[in-house]
Chains A and B, each alone.
Chain A
Amino acid sequence: MEQLIYLDNAATTKVNPKVLDAMLPYFSDKFGNPSSVYGFASGNKQAITEARENVAEILGADPSEIYFTGGGSEADNWALKATADAYEKKGKHIITTKIEHHAILHTCEYLESKGFEVTYLDVDENGVVDMGQLRSSIRPDTILISVMFANNEIGTMQPIAEIGRLAKEKGILFHTDAVQAFGHVPIKVDEMGIDMLSASGHKLNGPKGVGFLYIRKGVKIRSFIHGGAQERKRRAGTENVPGIVGLGTAARICADTMEERARKESELRDYLIERVMKEIPYTRLNGHRTKRLPNNANFSFQFVEGESMLIMLDMAGICGSSGSACTSGSLDPSHVLLAIGLPHEIAHGSLRLTLGDDTTREQIDYVVEKLKEIVEKLRSMSPLYED
């Protein structure tokens, strides 16, 4: 079999070897607890400070506004639950969208069970949030708007600055789940009016199990994990030094290479989209044609089921993923694809290919050829397809 072609960078990414190099000393050599008094551990505290500065600088934030967490899901849970806790006297209404990641949606359901009301905004056929509906959903008791920066399935980017402006105008906090966007597209918290922002290390060639929540100074924030005095007493737990160093290094590298990377990836992505749309009939591109993450392509092939397609791609050495239900342990078809209006059976035949900075044109060519064969084979087995 050919070399592995990894086109699932939205699921997770390879740790950049430079990032791993930066992490390595902190496992078995400089392993001290950053809270310790002795000199042996003070370098570790310093390493965390540097990582925090790296991350803050990219966002145009102050280092004291960055709180490291155990990942993107924790950051999302924290942002929503702590805001609910701190502002419930003001109101119990939250606005989000139908296409958020489950870390947001399931947290909202939890908050609903605790007496909060949540408005789930619709999106148009491209996955863009309806600003008019957002505006008219705002109530006097609305305490939080949470809209993701870019969608993890279809890559669509939201009009974040516009939402930020509206939120500010109305005096409502604005959180964005930027797990897919941070490190890949420019984000400036001040210009965009973002009050809280979640990100995760493993989506930007950093390590798994570490992320952060940006919290603007002045936002009332409660702890989510209570205990020790780490992270300005806001997030307890011995710091994951290698993880934090890895995240900081990855963020720095991503910021330095962002422009060039985005240009290269979006060019290859466009090439992939063009070929697939032209050469495979009954195919739909999901997500916005231009306002999408540079590395994201998402197709629906009519009459074809997603998991079967993934397994056949796997046999051809290609890693992709699907909006298909079967893949995630849940059996419901992707809520994102349903929200952009796809019927069940088409949502079920979706394929997400997300490029990395090492993806080549040759790989794309190979993938397109294989995809053509696979879609044809599955269609010939499909009771829905008559040719």
Chain B
Amino acid sequence: MDYITLIQLLDSTVRFATPLLLACLAGLFSERAGIFDIGLEGKMLAAAFFTAAVAFLTGSAWVGLLGGIAASLVLAAIHGVASITFRGNQLISGVAINLLAAGMTVLVAQDWFRQGGRTPGLTGDARFEGITLPGAAAVADVPVIGPLYAELISGHSILVYIAFLAVPLTWWVLFRTRFGLRLRAVGENPAAVDTAGVSVVGLRYAAVLIAGVLCGLAGAYLSTALQAGFVKDMSAGRGFIALAALIFAKWRPWYALWATLLFGLFGALETRPDVIEAVIGLKVPGPLLGGLPYVMTVIILAGFVGKAIPPRAGGAPYVKER
């Protein structure tokens, strides 16, 4: 495998990883606050649709993004009401949200656009185009660094940079701010937060809504940056992979980055059977190639990642009075 191929592979890795990363960080906020979120998939899907729909109607990707985030927030709020206010089962709520998004997006799309559950194609400002970073063209011909900068680092959509910046930002918020301290505490021992005079409910809603915003970005990236419009079910299980990455990352922001990049790399490798063949010297039959990333994940989990301990109060509603 030559250098250029490597760069291309990594470039593809970044694109695959971006929605996973955003969703993974969304899950991180929610679960660090003690609310399990298997509804990442649904929120992402809803955001993908509404971003594309609003972007089409207004002609602006940014306005679309707001629409997508709003849609994701509505689902997040439902999850909050069910699992925080009414202390419902967080897993059921997540399952319901995934189904709701899968059905609603197509239903609304059909009602609005009559194109069989998709949005019309987006062009121009209704899409997030790649950004060429300053100097990319100038250094492109410099050996080694040039392609790295011009091909791999430059040229992605703004949402990619937001996603990657969200990692240190998440770390900073969680570990360097008052809000982060309280948020982590509420996922470990809500009673400690409550008796310290801080609202458990308020914190958990905040976390769930932040998750909504991040899923909104993830969905928007799918339909307006990677694609030029919404297609039904286009989240294609990425929410679940993000969840796996979250556990893999042991609920930590930097690990989340590496975990999603790893899954992204698996995705990228799957599109390059030639590279796999060159590296392992064996042709893998197509269908099995599709299963390879998952097998690798299991092997890594079994071999290298120890027990992942979730936030202690995770999944359980905070009940003071039995």
Whether A associates with B in a native complex is no
Chain A residues engaging chain B, CB cutoff 8 angstroms: none
